[in-house]
Structure 1
Amino acid sequence: MKHSFTPKGVCASKIEFELTDGNIHNLAFTSGCSGNLKAIATLVEGMEASRVVSLLSGNTCGFRSTSCADQLTLAIAQAQRKEREAC
C-alpha cells in the first residue's frame, strides 16, 4: 500500500513510500538534502519496516530534535497503524 506523510521540523516537505508485506519500497523524499535522502532511500529499499525504525528512530539533524530519518520512522508507524485499521 502506498503511503504519504508530511514531516514536521525538517527540510523535507513530504515522505512517500510503499509498505508491502512489512517491507519498505520506493521511498522518496520531497525537498531536503537530496544526496543524503536518496542514499537513505537506497539503503532501506526492501528492508523490514521494523528494522528501519530500530535503526533510525531518534536520529537528529544539527540543532533539531528530529531529522528526516527520524520523521521516516514516524511515517512508518503511521502507515503500519493505517494498514492494521484497514484489516
Structure 2
Amino acid sequence: MTYTYKTRGTCSTQIDLELEGNIVHNVKFTGGCNGNLQAIPKLVEGLTVEQVEEKIGGISCNGRPTSCGDQLAKACREAYEASKQA
C-alpha cells in the first residue's frame, strides 16, 4: 500500500511511504533538511510501524513539539490504520 501524509509543524511538507503489512518501505520526504531526510528513510527501511514509532516517535526539532522523524512515525501509524480499513 502506498500512502501520502501531509506533515504538520516541520520543514518537510509531505511524506510518501509504502507499507507491506506493517513493514515500512520506500520512504520519501518532500522538503526539509536534505541530509537528514536522506538518512531517515535508509534507517527505517524494513522496520515495522511499531519499531519506527519506538525509535523516532516523539523527537522534537529546534524547540518545535515535533520533527520530521516524529511526523514519519505518525505517518506510518496513520497508514497502517488506513490499511486495516481497506
TM-score normalised by length of structure 2: 0.96
Partner residue, 2:60:
60
Note the alpha carbon deviations across 1:37-65, whole angstroms, 9 max, x for none: 11000111111121011111110001101
TM-score normalised by length of structure 1: 0.95
AA of the residue aligned to 1:77: R
Percent identity between matched residues is 40
Shift of 1:80: 1.1
| 1:1-87 map, 5 Å | 1-86=1-86
User: CA RMSD, aligned part only?
Assistant: 0.7
4+ residue runs over 2 A deviation: none
AA of the residue aligned to 2:75: A
